[in-house]
Amino acid sequence: MKKFKTLAIILAGLFLFTSMSDKTEEGDKLIGVWEPSNKKIYLKIDKISGKYYGKIVWLREPIDPVTGKPKTDKNNPDESLKNVPLKGFRMLKDFVYKGNGEWADGTIYDPQNGSTYNCVIKLRDDNTLDIRGYIGLKTFGRTDVWKRLVTKKKK
């Protein structure tokens, strides 16, 4: 009986551990470089302290046509942060993997108007994301399709 109990504990622990590892692995599918459908930027999503964040790593038009200098976060509601370079800017923040290919509890920032929206990310397939930014209810939002980018292999 004692041996049976011991075996049961081991198996339960193994099962719990495996499912947690699976969840982490599933959640890490978000990590990588992604391109929104407007093809204006690339975003790199990484994991910091268990949550997922995305920063702009490339801009199709990196120079502001008005100032002639690299684009900055000129529409930030905080005046003191209006000169933060857009290259490197954290557009996606605080996403937590919820299972079933969905990341939630995060926000997406739109540098074009300085607004921050609630956001949910769904993995359509390994190389496609549905990103929905919304206000309050998911109804008041818009979904965009992002595609994964990979580095070209050296021949």
Partner 1 sequence: MKNLKALMFSLFLVPLVTVGQEEEEDYSIYDNLEYADESSTTFVSPKIIGLSPNRFINVAWDVQSPYTMSVSDTLGYAPDASWSAKESSNVSYTGGLRVNANIPVISRNNIVWQMGANYMNTNFRVDEANGDPILSELKRRSLNTAGLFTTVFKPLNDKQFLIFQGQADYNGNYTFGDFHSFGLTKYSAAILWGKSPHDRLQWAIGATRTYRVGELNYVPIVMYNWTSKREKWGTEILFPARAHGKYWVNKSSLIMFGYELEGGSYNLSGLSNNGNSFELRRGEVRPRIEWNRKLVGFFWLNAQLGARINYGFAYDELENGKEFFRGFFGQQEIEAFSSLGTSLYGLVGISFVSL
Partner 2 sequence: MKNYFFKTQVLALSVFILWGCGKSEPIQTDVQRLETIAVGPLFEGVNTATVEFDIQKVLPKEVKKEQLSEVRIKSIQLGLADSAAPVPNSFTVLLASPNTSMKECGFIQEDSIKMNNYNVSLAEEQDFLLEILQDKMQTLVIDFNLEGEYFDDYAVTAAIDWELKFKK
Our finding on whether 146 is near partner 1 (CB under 8 A) is yes
CA–CA distance, 69 with 48 (Å, rounded to integer): 30
Backbone angles phi, psi at 41, to 5 degrees: -140, 165
Q: In the stretch 95-134, what mask flags binding to partner 1 with x, by CB under 8 A?
A: ---------------x-xxxx----------xxx------
CA–CA distance, 13 with 74 (Å, rounded to integer): 52
The sign of the dihedral angle between the CA atoms of 38, 110, 45, 82 is positive
Cα angle for residues 151, 154, 155 (degrees, 5° grid): 140
Binding residue for partner 2, selected from 24, 37, 83, 128, defined by CB under 8 A: 83
Element (H, E) at 124: strand 115-125
Out of partner 2, partner 1, none, which partner does residue 84 contact, by CB within 5 to 8 A per kind? partner 2
* Contacting partner 2 within 103-122 (CB under 8 A): 107
Laid out side by side, the sheet with 51-59 consists of 32-35, 41-48, 51-59, 90-99, 102-110, 115-125, 128-135
Our finding on whether 42 is near partner 1 (CB under 8 A) is yes
| Closest distance to partner 2 from the beta carbon of 17 (Å) | 21
Q: In the stretch 22-61, what mask flags binding to partner 2 with x, by CB under 8 A?
A: ----------------------x-x-xxxx-x-xxxx---
Q: What is the contact surface with partner 1 in residues (CB under 8 A)? A: 6, 9-10, 13-14, 17, 21, 33, 35, 37-39, 42, 57-58, 65-66, 75, 77, 110, 112-115, 126-128, 135-136, 139-154
